Structure 1
């Protein structure tokens, strides 16, 4: 399905590499700043007037879910503010758009994208089992060596004392993370890169917990043959080994709410987590990745409802999933009135951790709740509260409080055992089953 069929200001915002770029794109979404606005099928292009004498030539390829853009400006961000402005103008139906073929410079870029897509290997191509087994054996040897080194490094850290860890240069942590990348252990590498954020926490509990999880990864790998299939799948996921999507059991179509999404940078990758909520209250986590400088696939519009086949990846606590064929278009839909009580959320996370000790978060719908300030938290009438994640800005908190006015709300978000990150809010009076 072409991206242009579902292009909205919200999907454009999801394409933005950071909030500053989106704001800059909004400022450029003014028809008067575009001498030319044109469309060639599902390719948008135009000329954006900058500070120089000649306008920038901008294009957005919306022919496939793998969105891409090109601009003659010197920005290293992708998409740049000019591409975001072009998309916002089209999503809003603003400006005078003409039907015109793309200029030759852009046409070469489009032809190159088409050729690369045609040259990409097809999922249906036959796989040589012997070659695949050889590659797997080679990777496991690298992982063995990498996790052995990780155990020794963790032992040295503990021997020196956690207080001494605070004096280490950031380059030391980056060096160890790079070794894990070399050992084809991106999951371990990411966890090591995150360790410095815990160094100056006064109690040291967060650092000790993070180091313990890393040690458990190494021990789990040593004892992988004694684990069940689901437990081994969770271990491999935590280490950063992908699963075979084609091997997942077919799922029956069902109705799902798109409950929210969050995009984060993970080293050289951009990651988007999209959460679906089922009619029975179950959540499904969809992950999208893209190398830095490249766009993620077109996002699902938040607070919509769709009918699709969701297949869960193997896990002792099924949450990661793959969305298959979607029937029809997603339609706007508020969150349903079926939230958990705040008192249940820590217990839910504890039960999930008992099954998958490397789980980092769960997606959960809570309500009815209201937002409190000083400290920022979710509260309910029973007197329970959950601390809000530090990424929640004062402006977001004010907006949610204004959205709910004097009534309670249903809120979907992520709970990591310490703080809650809201992703979608629906006032209680608007919630629909």
Structure 2
């Protein structure tokens, strides 16, 4: 029997199960098929053999038939899940290695049978035995309460740490060793707050900004997370979803309502490393029917996220500018942007018409988005007609406004965009984070250097 929990479990969610930072780091080293002579699954039960330093491999099992994922391993570790179980989950999330369909060996089968008998720990029926709804609700509430206590303690600790950081001042923060930031981030990982830990690890990027404005804004976002958690019961359902996303809670893809198939078009993607994860952001555009997706039914960029441990391959990317038909469901949010492709993708006919935009409009849209979701890190925007300027690195529009390009501009094929532009201005699609613009792709707009527009061109 399969389970929506194992189907929705990605690398980010698997690492969030780690009992501490050292376990997560060790698991990523084990997420290599070469150290697993056996990889198998039986429905939502994963098991395998991991070769350690001894003569015999460790027998590892993961029970993912319910939301309360559990593991068993023959290693001597007292951590749950141990690094071997986490490594097994990372391999499954990355679809790496050769997996066979096979029942678990007797030792694991006995353990699984015992779990099946403890129905109060199940979040859904196991086999044909119904679970009492009251017992199920009690078990889920107990698990949520334990998780919330961990998060509360972690965020209270962060609140005190931020207060000390601000009181000591910017100069004292610049003198801190990098180990200070890593230790605080590790404590947040232990508190099941991986999203907050990532933001703490980003603090050194802003320490040497002369004005201190970027650092202040970044610390303010962290402080707002602590206050949002305190007031979480007063937030709307969509606002709580944004808060949990910012804290690092994984998206339960299986809980998203089914979406109707329609035509979409990939605008491009950006891939980067976040800690020990490879992250790919793919942007789509689709003309949504009224009443679906963001309010107004207007075409707005949609964000898909893919994760894989460092050294592991990501799923195949969608071809840019190629229209396709698929069902795309939005994740709950006060500003719907992230989405998930449901089911199969099939080729479609003509390309979609693509909008243009100005830098002034980009700023207004970002401000409106932050008003709905203050933890939003970026939005996808069209700017054009516009051109790229390299000294200093800027995006300039036809109205004479300019914004700086992102320091991560080397991660995109900027020179290819410049070569394709030749003497024509372009409509650029990219990511705006309130500080800089990261170009993701360009759509040719036939405007010569004198500014006389002659008509839309094809995607480049």
**Common fold, TM-score beyond 0.5?**
yes
Q: For 1:148, which of 142, 147, 156 is the aligned residue? A: 156
Report if aligned partners of 1:271, 1:289 keep a CA contact under 8 Å in 2.
Answer: yes
Paired residue for 1:94? none
Residue correspondence of structure 1 range 72-221 to structure 2 within 5 A: 113-115=98-100, 126=125, 128-221=136-229
Report if aligned partners of 2:151, 2:193 keep a CA contact under 8 Å in 1.
Answer: yes
Residue correspondence of structure 1 range 155-304 to structure 2 within 5 A: 155-279=163-287, 280-304=298-322
RMSD: 2.6
SS in 2 for 1:171: helix
Stretch of structure 1 that moved more, 362-371 or 206-215: 362-371
- Establish whether residue 383 from structure 1 lines up as the match of residue 391 from structure 2: no
Q: How far 1:420 sits from its partner (Å)?
A: 0.7
Stretch of structure 1 that moved more, 365-374 or 138-147: 365-374
SS in 1 for 2:98: helix
Q: Structure 1 unaligned runs (5+)?
A: 1-109
SS in 2 for 1:431: strand
Q: For 2:346, which of 328, 342, 347 is the aligned residue? A: 328
Report if aligned partners of 2:412, 2:439 keep a CA contact under 8 Å in 1.
Answer: no
CA deviation map 1:140-171 (0-9, x unaligned): 11101100100010111111112210000000
Q: Structure 2 unaligned runs (5+)?
A: 1-94, 105-111, 113-122, 127-135, 288-297, 447-456
Stretch of structure 1 that moved more, 399-408 or 167-176: 399-408
Report if aligned partners of 1:372, 1:378 keep a CA contact under 8 Å in 2.
Answer: yes
Alpha carbons of 1:284 and 1:117: their partners in 2 closer, same or farther (altered >3 Å)? Answer: farther
Alpha carbons of 1:187 and 1:297: their partners in 2 closer, same or farther (altered >3 Å)? Answer: same
Alpha carbons of 1:227 and 1:373: their partners in 2 closer, same or farther (altered >3 Å)? Answer: same
Paired residue for 2:391? 374
Q: For 2:367, which of 350, 361, 370 is the aligned residue? A: 350
Alpha-carbon distance in structure 2 between the residues aligned to 1:140 and 1:148: 12
With structure 1 as the length reference, what TM-score do the two structures score?
0.69
Alpha carbons of 1:330 and 1:172: their partners in 2 closer, same or farther (altered >3 Å)? Answer: farther
Alpha carbons of 1:196 and 1:312: their partners in 2 closer, same or farther (altered >3 Å)? Answer: same
Alpha carbons of 1:182 and 1:224: their partners in 2 closer, same or farther (altered >3 Å)? Answer: same
Aligned length: 319
Alpha carbons of 1:118 and 1:319: their partners in 2 closer, same or farther (altered >3 Å)? Answer: farther
Alpha-carbon distance in structure 2 between the residues aligned to 1:383 and 1:152: 45
Alpha-carbon distance in structure 2 between the residues aligned to 1:196 and 1:394: 20
Report if aligned partners of 1:337, 1:428 keep a CA contact under 8 Å in 2.
Answer: no
Alpha carbons of 1:393 and 1:332: their partners in 2 closer, same or farther (altered >3 Å)? Answer: farther
Alpha-carbon distance in structure 2 between the residues aligned to 1:216 and 1:117: 48
Paired residue for 2:74? none
Paired residue for 2:293? none
Report if aligned partners of 1:285, 1:321 keep a CA contact under 8 Å in 2.
Answer: yes
Q: For 2:382, which of 351, 360, 365 is the aligned residue? A: 365
